[in-house]
Amino acid sequence: MKELFKKYREIIVYIIVGLMTTAVAYGIRLGIIYGFSPILGIDLSAEGGKAAVLRTVAVSIGWVAGVIFAFFTNKSWVFQDKVSGKRAVLVQFGEFTLSRVFTYFVELGLGVGVPPLLTLLGYKPFKLILTFDADLIATGISVVLVTVLNYILSKLLVFRKKK
């Protein structure tokens, strides 16, 4: 078991850190969507307009919080990166942030585009433990796709091992 963990440590720790990052980013995102829509009188089943603006703001703020959290946890725990010094770490943070811009637009497209598309296609929310509405479905799709893309970009572009 120890050898198996050692062999797959990076991926295992990435998944754990990814779950923590997801909790931060999507917790903020969904907190804004579900917390502010009733306060602002926004109907989330409506297409475009205020719902799209609220979703854009929520995805963006969640993304910023997730990037900051993910950088430090990935650097320290996942990739055990040894780059140090203010300037070097700032450059690396810039690379990390730029590598996440692409997945931000993927996430934004899914977060803003999927809910009205599902509504247009006649999707009806259902309840198990949670209510699986269009925003929760879009979030689930985005979690999987963005997590895979972020690992690949971090491994290949930001925290690559210097030879």
- List beta partners, residue 126: 132
pLDDT of residue 121: 93
163 has pLDDT over 80 = no
Q: Give dist(CA 138, CA 143) in Å, integer.
A: 9
Residue 146 pLDDT grade (very low, low, confident, very high; cuts 50, 70, 90): confident
pLDDT of residue 63: 87
Q: What is the pLDDT of residues 85-132, one digit of tens each?
A: 999 999 999 999 999 998 888 988 998 899 999 989 998 888 888 888
Tokens of 143: 């979690």
- Asked if 63 and 25 count as a contact pair (C-beta separation under 8 A), the reply is yes
Q: What is the pLDDT of residues 72-83, one digit of tens each?
A: 999 999 999 998
* DSSP-assigned letter for residue 132: E
Q: Is 79 left (phi over 0), alpha (psi -120 to 50) or beta?
A: alpha
pLDDT of residue 162: 65
Place of tokens 């295992």: 12
Q: What is the pLDDT of residues 97-107, one digit of tens each?
A: 999 998 888 98
Q: Give dist(CA 17, CA 58) in Å, integer.
A: 21
pLDDT of residue 48: 73
pLDDT of residue 66: 93
pLDDT of residue 127: 87
Instruction: State pTM to two decimals.
Output: 0.74
The 3 state secondary structure assigned to 11-78 is HHHHHHHHHHHHHHHHHHHHHHHHHHHHHHCCCCCCCCHHHHHHHHHHHHHHHHHHHHHHHHHHHHHH
